[in-house]
Homo-oligomer: A and B are copies of this chain.
Amino acid sequence: MREEGVSYYLISSSDEHASEYVGDYDKTSLWLSGCSSDNVRILISQTKALLWTDGRYFISAAQELENSEYVLMKSGQTGVPSLCDYLDVSLKEGDCLAYDGRTFSYAEGLQYHNLAEKQGCELNNRFAPQDRLWIDRPNRASHPVIVLKEDLTGESYADKLSGVRAAMAAKGADQLILSKLDDIMWLLNIRGADIACNPVALSYFWLTDRGAFLFLQKSEITEELRTYAREQEITLEDYNETFEILSGRLADSAAKDPDSAMTGDQKPIKLMLDPRSSSDAMVSLAASCLGAENLILAANPTEMMKAVKNSVEISHIREVYLQDSVAVCRFIAYVKKHAREGNLTELSAARYLEGLRAELPGYLDLSFETICAYNANAAMAHYAPTKDDCARIEGRGFLLVDSGGQYLGGTTDVTRTICLGELTDSMREDFTTVAVSNLRLLFARFMEDCSGMVLDAIAREPLWERHKNFNHGTGHGIGYILNVHEGPQVIRWRDRIPEDRTSFVPGMITSDEPGMYIEGQYGIRTESITLCVEDCVNEYGRFLCFEPLTYVPIDLEGLKPEQMDASDIDKLNRYHKMVWEKISPFLKGEDLEWLKQATGPVCA
């Protein structure tokens, strides 16, 4: 920093593609700080090192940063300034704020540009000391890319492409650069394995009115892919040369557009980029080649198309969720039976569940690291056991298990909190409140045009009623054989970004996962995945509702029916009746016996 005259150095936990989860090569923030959280921002000056992360990681980050120089900044907590607010008061005229523009989105970088300008500071967005100083940096992951057949995707690349071109035309765009990995995978009907649990390949996609260019690491290109690319008229380029190639060709396409040369009418090339997933570096490159005034900064047209699943995808998803639910049911029956013997640990339980999933047809991988957290460990919303740090499961309290799989047919995610013997009254109160919250949302009816903010209120009301809350959103979108967190819809009661106000549309897959976390004691979360469907159309308009995809009992041992309204008990019983009908054909013996009890009707 001193060598390059940098006063403040900013580090992000993301990669060139604004990915939420990244490969080891891109874990600069972990290398620097030892903090393994996703969604980290680090700010380093000559005297201070500050690390911001969100509510999911407050407890684990505090443990990891103990005895380090880092100060943990808990985003969103009262009295904790945001990174921007902090910079706003700290930056002084003449300071230099520096970061690696490849690892920040353009939208985020713009905030720093504006702050620096306001304070009369220099901005250096090419500062990447990790490239030099990180001695034992792992290589970039590189795995062969596979091509999905149309019986899995339900829509060909060509059909998707014409939808994308129509959306581009509506915005007046001639060209498009996609940086977001899952958008590229979805559009091209391909999948990779470069980020653990996320079946994506490191890639860029460039679409012009003359051709389509897919940038991949050479080692990832199989013969199958080469053939497919030829058939689909996709030119394959080297991922490692993306910036060099684009810089030459973008400038080229701007200079001599054949059409305009012929007519003499030199219309500039308009290029579309998503400011949230295109890196600061990529937008800078595009602006320098084409002129900033010719960039159309707008959401990727693929985003909404990908979020609204088609009927082929939906029928695969229903089947995959059914089988995944069967595995989770068998797992719960197993844990219930063996927990009291004292031979289970968080890690062995997680491995057992992973084994059950691995036996299912089409299994590829986990969709995220299994969270199997016993009592106090579950108060950390994103805790995962390791060999060195793993609790023994005993016959009392809660075991929270949040897990999912990647299958050729869908991506699953489910959380159940398993009750093991002794529970205090307040544990049962909290468990019941979370169950009611989950069920209210699961059975909600709502009007078309309704945003996740409205839906969050429906889920959160039973908690607020008891002066409780949980420090994360109630729901996120889920990909199809893709990332377990997918936009644009979310269920949150406060806006972070305008996209948080996306209206729900039939075909969207979203989680319903309220929770409650008591630090040092226990954590509860009940998560079912839902499909948004049309409920009815009448004189008031169109009503939507959710179809459950997850069929796993909510543990009756944790419930206090006397705390529940009759209509909530009715919802619980309706859900459990569905679970019995869907799952019982796949179970037998003790598992079936357990399911019968676990889904039996509850009386007020």
Contact = CB atoms under 8 A, between A and B. Distances in A.
Interface of A: 78, 444-447, 449-451, 453-458, 460-461, 464-465, 467-469, 493-495, 501, 535-536, 538, 540-541, 543, 565-568
A501 B493 contact: no
A464 B543 contact: yes
Contacts of A468: 540
Contacts of A536: 467
A460 to B, nearest CB: 8
23 contacts: A444-B461, A445-B464, A445-B465, A447-B469, A447-B493, A450-B494, A451-B494, A454-B454, A454-B456, A454-B457, A454-B460, A455-B457, A456-B457, A457-B458, A458-B461, A467-B538, A467-B540, A468-B540, A469-B541, A495-B501, A565-B565, A565-B566, A565-B568
A467 B566 contact: no
Given A467-B535, A467-B543, 6 more contacts: A449-B494, A453-B454, A456-B457, A458-B458, A464-B543, A469-B541
Contacts of A447: 464, 469, 493
Contacts of A455: 457
Contact of A566 (B446, B540, B541, B566): B566
Contacts of A460: 454
Identical subunits present: 2
Contact of A493 (B450, B493, B495, B540): B450
The main secondary structure of chain A at its interface with chain B is mixed
A450 B121 CA distance: 36
A465 B543 CA distance: 10
A320 to B, nearest CB: 30
Given A454-B456, A565-B567, A444 B464 contact: yes
Nearest to A465: B445
B457 A445 contact: no
Nearest to A461: B458
Contacts of A538: 467
A155 to B, nearest CB: 27
Nearest to A456: B454
A540 B469 contact: yes
A196 to B, nearest CB: 33
Nearest to A466: B445
A337 to B, nearest CB: 36
A561 to B, nearest CB: 12
8 nearest A-B pairs in the assembled complex, by CB-CB distance: A457-B457, A565-B565, A469-B540, A454-B457, A445-B464, A454-B493, A565-B567, A453-B453
Contacts of A495: 501
A464 B446 contact: yes
A566 B455 CA distance: 23
A453 B469 CA distance: 18
A330 B536 CA distance: 43
A521 to B, nearest CB: 12
A100 to B, nearest CB: 33
Nearest to A446: B464
Contacts of A456: 454, 457
A52 to B, nearest CB: 19
Contacts of A457: 453-458
Nearest to A440: B461
Contacts of A464: 444-447, 543
Nearest to A568: B565
Nearest to A469: B540
A405 to B, nearest CB: 33
Contacts of A566: 565-566
Contacts of A567: 565
A600 B281 CA distance: 70
A572 to B, nearest CB: 14
Contacts of A458: 457-458, 461
A565 B455 CA distance: 21
Contacts of A494: 449-451
Most B CB atoms within 10 A — which of A449, A457, A541?
A: A457
A446 B494 CA distance: 12
A78 B448 CA distance: 11
A493 to B, nearest CB: 5
A493 B456 CA distance: 12
A272 to B, nearest CB: 19
A541 B451 CA distance: 25
Contacts of A469: 447, 540-541
A541 B78 contact: yes
Nearest to A542: B78
A444 B456 CA distance: 14
A89 to B, nearest CB: 14
Contacts of A449: 494
A535 B469 CA distance: 14
A538 B78 CA distance: 12
